[in-house]
Structure 1
């Protein structure tokens, strides 16, 4: 590894891949796992009593894929999935991948306005829908012509010219839709046609259309192929290392990039993925970690906080845990250390994005424990990634200088669908992706995430990074979670406001927090305001909504005046 060979003076590092790429597809990998582990559990949904083996899962995938062929789904056509975490979602995903369709992974939190736009942007032909997972948004009102059309025939309409059919997961699907369960019960496998189609699908075919927050309020559609998704996961994992793993998906919608391991690992490595019910419950999470003997899981920072602070934590046996991944926003070093001590396993602050795929940086892949101890709260790029830290002009900065992270990688997204302007803003002609994240790199190539470029606060001409303040305030004994936002100000441009959720709703004052800051934060960075809230607002993808939090803070401060 480069960090062991020489010290860097410029903020650039390339961690080469130790393996060759494979030109296979999602379906090719599933076939291998079925052959190796036919009677092993592939996917488990304990809350609803569903446990399915690799053999049985493939049988259901093939039935649904055959139905897609009957509905004239061609390679490159779009099959959308609009549902929560369930087995039907996974069957639909693998079936669409098998016939070469692009899978539009719609999030259950999308509004009618967003869905109406995205159905057209993606040119969605078939939509696998679970109306019970988005009860406030009625698909049949968005596509009002649906009930009057013959099932499986293109709709004669101007608003959705590509749209053809709804496959409804719920039993009480409306007229004009096909029944998911009826397809599985009465359908059949067209083996010859299915094999022929699978052989036509290649690794460079588009697989997933993910959706990420857009500055206009509409999500951007992020395009990934079989190649980018398969090899991003294979770069840091092997079938030998992972085949015995039992992975729990605890806090991500299946449509979100954070679920990629739970979706792909069974096919890629023969692991077992276990899923929590959609409605969050800390008790359900901890009970399932224990009862299912989970070895790896991904917990959002707020869920991680809930686990280690649970009043009955010591009553649960979590000794099977080997690795806990977290991320989504910066986690203070103090919380990471507390979590490792409480859980007795390695807790990984796993950095990535929808465009770069989860896990661009990690603390565990290809580095020694000595190096991790040497650089706490820092991360090294995972194999296959090339990174540099640049100034506002795109020039590489010297080490230990804060700048924007740029990434060049075979795992990068292709483009934003139907948005060339947005693509050109973040991808250069020579393949670099401008992440919008602020980092600093040390002499050995280890990087520390400082925050988002857009989150940097400028007060009286001084650059203030929220993470510096958040890391310090997280050490306060009454603080459970903390975020720092900017408040507009005519005199100094922006004011610094700390937003806090206290532990167990303890009473805490602004004076206590500001006093705690002195000596722990640069004197020129001391915050102006402190507010206390019960929860932080989230986006439709369940991420922290920092812009909305800033509005909440501004309203609270204005009401005090």
Structure 2
């Protein structure tokens, strides 16, 4: 008898949603109008679905009144807050394309992203943590200080016409976000209604940047159909209902917060609860107790810091039931503590990538714990997955190969990059993930490695090539290779191995200072080693796996 092939299909009796996000939200607001939609304690926000829907309409009309048109890109650069949610749904309702900008981005990354997708508007928080966003934007677009709001003409970013700031302060050249929330007049409402009626669910609605192996981040372009359905089926796997209250401490700029959090809730009439602007263990514990949350999302490092927090034993987490742990593999011991001590008996594991909206595998609430730890669950509804060898042929069950996904969740492509899109999505519509996986006879999959050298630091994907390209700009650097090394807290940390130019000397601090303020803090290498050269193959290819082993040994990891 021939071995079964590693091909799985999530045939399902619940159909896909054939609607745009804006019209779907309106339907949910009609069904669950009195339910709390969004709770943000630190902003004193507590909105019902009726109130959320109304504010979304006001903002959608306000954005169109600025002269923005369907298809225009609108960047959002902010920590987690109520305004982020309004932007997410209002851009969708107005046919605009929201561009998620990582709050950790600095000057060169911000400028790259705004230019790459030609943003017509940028919505930003004044500051976050150590970043003064207003100062960074003023640096990228110095013309702001002398321009009227809406009439910006920036040399570096000719498409950028509007900069909109959150908060009560006034900044020259910028609109104030709250001014866009005023009730629209009849003509503005009619304009919005006409536009909304013309939108199709296959229209792009969101661009999320994922660092590319070739250096520059790539803009994965996602549609209404992609993320609305993924959010819905993620919520189904968690058995979400309109009585659930989900605590969302993961970042909204990432699919984890925006799709697995916000859209999973909204598609089920459940409540989104934000415990803070970013992850803060004490605030998460306090919020889960105060808001009687039934669900909690996080990457393994977040759950670890909650379990180890000094306040842990004094808070009541007994209302918790479900949630998602994703972003990096979960240690078995952590999972059993989470189920046992945090009452998360129905927590699920999810696997995916931004390019597939993101989830393609998820465990179910009743899978045995052993399977929830050792696998990523089974294929998601309506998706196909196959595991192939280096020739692209399907391998038998139990054999390792590259994981490919096909179906409603696959992105339209990388914005403005046909070559990279064709490399990722083949002629038959399969998205090549670059992850190595195995599928067993029962359809459970396990990720066993990465075809490329991506480093996952606490749920953040770091592509060594991007950091290498940046470090090559340092005048003393002749050659550089970045590798991931094991780390207790984050799973992996980045190490930069640098060959200096002849006769040059440099210190670790000098290299770190060069990175500071230019690239996101999590991409700045934790370890820096000055080396005479790299291990090579006969044909002159660098052997990263050998380099990784050498570095880990030298660092005693």
| Shorter-chain TM-score range | 0.7 to 0.9
> What secondary structure, in the 3-state scheme, does the structure 1 residue paired with 2:83 have?
helix
Runs of 5+ in structure 2 lacking a partner? 465-480, 491-514, 530-547
Write the distance in 2 (CA, Å) between the matches of 1:399 and 1:87: 45
Distance 1:8 1:343, change over 3 A: farther
- Any residues of structure 2 matched to 1:328-343 within 5 Å, and which? 328-343=327-342
2:305 maps to 1:306: yes
Establish whether residue 355 from structure 1 lines up as the match of residue 355 from structure 2: yes
Distance 1:254 1:60 in 2: 19
Aligned counterpart in structure 2 of residue 161 of structure 1, from 124, 136, 158: 158
1:114 aligns with 2:102: no
Equivalent in the alignment of 1:181: 178
Q: Which residue of the other structure, out of 19, 25, 28, is the alignment partner of 1:24?
A: 19
Could you tell me whether the CA contact under 8 Å between 1:29 and 1:267 is conserved in 2? no
The separation in 2 between residues aligned to 1:163 and 1:376, in whole angstroms, is 46
Please say if residues 348 and 362 of structure 1, whose CA atoms lie closer than 8 Å, have aligned partners that are also in contact.
yes
Matched, 1:249 2:248: yes
Q: Does 1:294 align with 2:293?
A: yes
Normalising by the residue count of structure 1, what TM-score does the alignment of the two structures yield?
0.78
Q: Structure 1 residue 270 and structure 2 residue 265: aligned?
A: no
Contact 1:63 1:188 in 2 (8 A): no
SS at match of 1:395: coil
Q: Measured at CA, do residues 305 and 559 of structure 1 come closer, stay the same or move farther in structure 2, by a change above 3 Å?
A: closer
Quote the Cα distance in structure 2 between the aligned partners of 1:329 and 1:434. Answer: 19
Distance of 2:91 and 2:371 partners within structure 1: 46
Mapped partners of 2:398, 2:127: distance in 1: 51
Of the three residues 402, 419, 422, the one matched with 2:420 is 422
Point out where structure 1 has 5 or more consecutive residues left out of the alignment: 1-5, 457-465, 468-479, 487-492, 503-536
SS in 2 for 1:92: helix
Cα deviations by residue, 1:431-468 (Å, 9 ceiling, x for unpaired) = 11111111111122211111222349xxxxxxxxx99x
- Counterpart in the other structure of 1:148: 146
- SS of 1:404's equivalent in the other structure is strand
Give the distance between the partners of 2:371 and 2:279, measured in 1 at CA: 36
Distance apart, 1:164 and its partner CA = 0.8
> Structure 1 residues 495 and 357 mapped into 2: Cα distance closer, same or farther (>3 Å)?
closer
Which range is displaced more, 407-416 or 307-316? Answer: 307-316
Asked whether the 8 Å contact 2:349–2:372 carries over to 1, the reply is no
The TM-score, its normalising length taken from structure 2, stands at 0.79
Task: Report if the CA contact (8 A) 1:131-1:139 is conserved.
Answer: no
| 1:500 and 2:488 are equivalent in the alignment | yes
Q: Residue 213 and residue 496 in structure 1: after superposition, are their counterparts in 2 closer, same or farther (change >3 A)?
A: closer
Query: Does 1:384 find its partner at 2:390?
Result: no
Change beyond 3 A, Cα 1:219–1:494: closer
Shift of 1:284: 1.1
How far apart are 1:541 and its partner, in Å?
Answer: 11
| Aligned counterpart, 1:67 | 62
Tell me by how many angstroms 1:539 deviates.
13
CA apart distance, 1:183: 2.9
Measured in 2, the distance between the counterparts of 1:113 and 1:336 equals 39
